[in-house]
Chains A and B, each alone.
Chain A
Amino acid sequence: MIPELGHFALILALCVALVQGTVPLYGAARGEPALMALGRMAALAQLALVGVAFAALTHAYLTSDFTVANVVANSHSAKPMLYKFTGVWGNHEGSMLLWTLILALFGAAVAAFGENLPETLRARVLAIQALLGVGFLAFLLFTSNPFERVFPPPADGNGLNPLLQDPGLAFHPPLLYLGYVGFSVAYAFAVAALIEGRVDAAWARWVRPWTLAAWCFLTLGIALGSWWAYYILGWGGFWFWDPVENASLMPWLAGTALLHSAIVVEKRDALKSWTVLLAILAFSLSLLGTFLVRSGVLTSVHAFAQDPARGLYILAFLLAVTGGGLGLYAWRAPALKPGGLFQPVSREGGLILNNLLLSTLAVAVLLGTLYPLFLDLLTGEKVSVGPPFFNATFVPICAPLFAALCVGPFLSWKRSDLWPALRRLQIAFAVSVAAALIAAFAIDGRSTLAAIAFGFGVWLILGTLAGALDRVAGGAGAMQRLRRLPRAFIGMSIAHAGLGVVVLGCVGAGAWNLEAMRAMKHGDRMSFAGYEFTLRGVEEVPGPNWIAERATLEVTRGGAPFTTLRPERRLFTVQRRLIAETAIQTNLVRDLYATLGESDGQGAWVVRLYFNPLAPWIWLGAAFCALGGFVSLTDRRLRVGAPSRRRTVLPPAAQPAE
């Protein structure tokens, strides 16, 4: 009964979305307030209906209702409660339902907090949001119904992919989707602006908080995914340039560029058409990611069950959304009036450089991801594009990006001088060069590139710090100035420094790590990275739905007990799949990382050890980036709904036109 309720709610939601997607658009074109006002009610109703459907599916999972095909295929009665819950989105249908729910959530948020948006703009944004909803609801109902029943019900389910039965991956999809889907709001705003034919500072001020919020969630989602890969795949790596990882990186890069270019629109009324394009692209690249993961066009370790029929549907949807947006762009964007002029050396100039480099990175990732597909189709040749390509493209583009990142905030709007900014950064520069030299000679001569990258990491942190100090220090009233720093500036500084921390982490874990592999018997001892590891035994441990071999590795340092590592190999009994559970001991500066391999059947086990300096900083830094975004969101100017007050103060005519 409850699954039918959920199914019914989905059908109703589709009907509501169809109304919400058309009537307010018509109302906005005709200037009918009653029709436009319909959008807000419909958006709230849609959230309620999709919420009911999601709750119904969750109920089916929590009660292990094996009359529902989706639950049978992806759940099992012996699964821990947490994974019964997260199993709701651990499969294709459920994750699409989560997408739709978050889409409805964002639509309802625009309806609820968009109090001060101009009526026509709000009506159009909500209508476009609803049209996106129509696409997803129809996709669910016609190709991927999560509420399909089976008869007769089997005694038990097939269980969830063991790789997904992990706290890191359980919450990775919701965060990622909050990011992907959050960009839909930027997309809706961009399309609405193109329909209205007007992009101004007020528009940018509405778009920015939504983009920023989406960007923060996407950052967290990607970081969580990378952390999961780090501790579960057992190779000590954290980023594999896998198509699915790249799929999430592309919208992130486009979104980062959008965040920065929207500032120029807001402050200087320039870069309008470019910003609108980025807003369309950020969401389109999110959809592209979904398409790549679910269509079977590319393979990846994380891909969902793939089905060409679904692939064709998503492709059609992708074409409609992206093609519609870009078509409208080609038609209407040339009419957007260019705004304020500026010199190449200025804040605007710096942000343009940032945008150029970020979009080049996004294009590089796109090419690297799709090149194997193109080549295979055109020539039948099979290649895979891996780390060498991405390292070769990312490093030369990131170098100027990072170099300029610290300088940009020192430049003033319109026109500026490079020299004073550089002089205020000279200490940071000197220390960074010293850090790179120390890294090159002291750590070891293995990789000059790593040493240079290390210098860049230090530069990002110190340069950002110098920027903040410059605002505060100097004579009396420093404390007061510190307190009066705008939240947006504090947030920016945290995020920029966080990026530096990520870079340091990547250098440490990627270039300076040590690894060792050995077959060990009980009592065997091995020295590694200044620690001694002794295998104290391997025992069988039963879990709720797995049986594990758990090794006990005693770690001593200079003879004194240091810690005990317990890596496991879990055999998931339902799926008969082996999953390694690594054991990681971290002190936030380095990780000791152990995985347990095969036994030779005669009392020896393969043990792999990694020493990963600075590895935790990768995720710590990413968390700083997201934190910076959230801090920036609390800035008065960006508070959702606040912009309108400024809008009345700042009519278009009062904009500095230069």
Chain B
Amino acid sequence: MSTRWLYLLPLATLGIVAGFFAWSLTSDRNPASIGSALVGRPAPTLNAAPLREGETAVTDASLRGRPVVVNFFASWCAPCQLEHPILMRLAEREGATVVGIAYKNKPADALAFLKRLGDPYKHAGLDPDGKIAIDWGLSGVPETYVIDARGIVRLHFRGPISERDVKDSILPALKAGS
């Protein structure tokens, strides 16, 4: 008689797996987000050499006083090229302050990239060896952070941002953070 229970095992397994699926579908989980330990915390310190000649270094002071968007990019990264028009619109049409950090990129390459596609960055810095990226918990480029006026990280996007991200999260966060 005890072996009869064995025949119920597949059904029970299905029940457990299906329970998880139902839970996942009804929760607000976003499977695309791989999470960020930074959200809700003060932004890591920033001290980057300027990308554009004749400018001052990009430091914590560049982030304070108003909500800002910090974007890590590189000229060699195709998704960065993809999201670039969105950053341009964010800076030009929405008047957001966008700070760019060129990740493991030669200054000449990064400048050529901005010359070709437009330059949305109020401040632009360099992270030639990826040291800043480590502090900021970067997993690749592009990644985008929204930091409020008090320097707290509000949003963290891994991968290119979309129009929808701008409309649904970035603009509201910028508005709320000022």
Verify that A and B bind, or say they do not: yes
Task: Give chain B residues whose Cβ lies under 8 Å from the Cβ of A318.
Answer: 18
Task: Give chain B residues whose Cβ lies under 8 Å from the Cβ of A284.
Answer: 14
Task: Give chain A residues whose Cβ lies under 8 Å from the Cβ of B18.
Answer: 315, 318-319, 323
User: Contacting A333 at CB < 8 Å: which of B7, B14, B27, B35?
Assistant: B7
User: Contacting A601 at CB < 8 Å: which of B10, B11, B112?
Assistant: B112
Bin the interface of chain A by size: 35 or more
Task: Give chain B residues whose Cβ lies under 8 Å from the Cβ of A542.
Answer: none
User: Contacting B14 at CB < 8 Å: which of A297, A298, A323?
Assistant: A323
Q: A558-596: contact bitstring with B at CB < 8 Å (1 yes, 0 no)?
A: 000000000000000000111000000000000000000
Chain B nearest Cβ from A459, distance in angstroms: 34
User: Contacting B25 at CB < 8 Å: which of A277, A312, A319?
Assistant: A312
User: Contacting B31 at CB < 8 Å: which of A273, A280, A296, A326?
Assistant: A296
Residue of A nearest to B5 (CB): A330
Once the chains bind, are B25 and A308 in contact (CB under 8 Å)? yes
Q: B109: CB under 8 A from chain A?
A: yes
Q: A295: CB under 8 A from chain B?
A: yes
Once the chains bind, are B32 and A299 in contact (CB under 8 Å)? yes
Chain A nearest Cβ from B67, distance in angstroms: 26
Q: A309-339: contact bitstring with B at CB < 8 Å (1 yes, 0 no)?
A: 0011001001100110011011001100000
CA distance A494 to B116 in the complex (A): 56
CA distance A281 to B17 in the complex (A): 14
Interface on chain B toward A: helix, strand, loop, or mixed SS? Answer: helix
Chain B interface residue count, CB cutoff 8 Å, equals: 35
Chain A nearest Cβ from B5, distance in angstroms: 9
Task: Give chain B residues whose Cβ lies under 8 Å from the Cβ of A308.
Answer: 25-26
Q: A654: CB under 8 A from chain B?
A: no
Q: A376: CB under 8 A from chain B?
A: yes
Q: A600: CB under 8 A from chain B?
A: yes
Residue of A nearest to B81 (CB): A578
Q: A326-B14, A373-B24, A606-B76 are in contact. Are A297 and B31 (CB under 8 A)?
A: yes
Q: A177: CB under 8 A from chain B?
A: no
Once the chains bind, are B14 and A322 in contact (CB under 8 Å)? yes
Task: Give chain B residues whose Cβ lies under 8 Å from the Cβ of A297.
Answer: 21, 24-25, 31
Q: B34: CB under 8 A from chain A?
A: yes
Task: Give chain A residues whose Cβ lies under 8 Å from the Cβ of B134.
Answer: none
Once the chains bind, are A597 and B34 in contact (CB under 8 Å)? no
Q: A374-B20, A382-B35, A601-B113 are in contact. Are A277 and B76 (CB under 8 A)?
A: no
Task: Give chain B residues whose Cβ lies under 8 Å from the Cβ of A380.
Answer: 35
Once the chains bind, are A330 and B11 in contact (CB under 8 Å)? yes
CA distance A576 to B32 in the complex (A): 22
Q: B167: CB under 8 A from chain A?
A: no
Task: Give chain A residues whose Cβ lies under 8 Å from the Cβ of B75.
Answer: 598, 600
CA distance A322 to B113 in the complex (A): 53
- Residue with the highest number of chain A CB atoms closer than 10 Å, among B11, B76, B116: B11
Chain A nearest Cβ from B66, distance in angstroms: 31
Residue of B nearest to A332 (CB): B7
Task: Give chain B residues whose Cβ lies under 8 Å from the Cβ of A382.
Answer: 33-35
Once the chains bind, are A326 and B10 in contact (CB under 8 Å)? yes
Chain A nearest Cβ from B111, distance in angstroms: 9
Once the chains bind, are B31 and A298 in contact (CB under 8 Å)? yes
Q: A377: CB under 8 A from chain B?
A: yes
Task: Give chain A residues whose Cβ lies under 8 Å from the Cβ of B33.
Answer: 382
Task: Give chain B residues whose Cβ lies under 8 Å from the Cβ of A454.
Answer: none
User: Contacting B21 at CB < 8 Å: which of A291, A327, A598?
Assistant: A291
Task: Give chain B residues whose Cβ lies under 8 Å from the Cβ of A312.
Answer: 22, 25
Once the chains bind, are B34 and A384 in contact (CB under 8 Å)? yes
Chain B nearest Cβ from A74, distance in angstroms: 19
Q: B82-96: contact bitstring with A at CB < 8 Å (1 yes, 0 no)?
A: 100000000000000
Binding site for B on A (CB under 8 A): 273, 277, 280-281, 284, 291, 295-299, 308, 311-312, 315, 318-319, 322-323, 326-327, 329-330, 333-334, 370, 373-374, 376-377, 380-382, 384, 576-578, 597-598, 600-602, 606
Pairs A–B under 8 Å by Cβ, sample size 28: A277-B10, A280-B10, A295-B21, A296-B25, A297-B24, A297-B31, A298-B31, A308-B25, A312-B22, A315-B22, A318-B18, A323-B14, A326-B11, A329-B10, A330-B7, A334-B4, A370-B20, A373-B31, A374-B20, A376-B31, A377-B24, A598-B76, A600-B108, A600-B109, A600-B112, A601-B112, A601-B115, A602-B108
Apart from A296-B31, A315-B22, A578-B81, 13 more pairs, CB < 8 Å: A291-B21, A299-B31, A299-B32, A312-B25, A315-B18, A329-B10, A330-B11, A376-B31, A377-B23, A578-B78, A578-B82, A600-B109, A602-B112
Binding site for A on B (CB under 8 A): 3-4, 7-8, 10-11, 14-15, 17-18, 20-27, 29, 31-35, 75-76, 78, 81-82, 108-109, 112-113, 115-116
Q: Which 7 pairs of residues, A with B, have the shortest CB-CB distance?
A: A601-B112, A382-B35, A326-B11, A330-B8, A330-B7, A299-B31, A326-B10
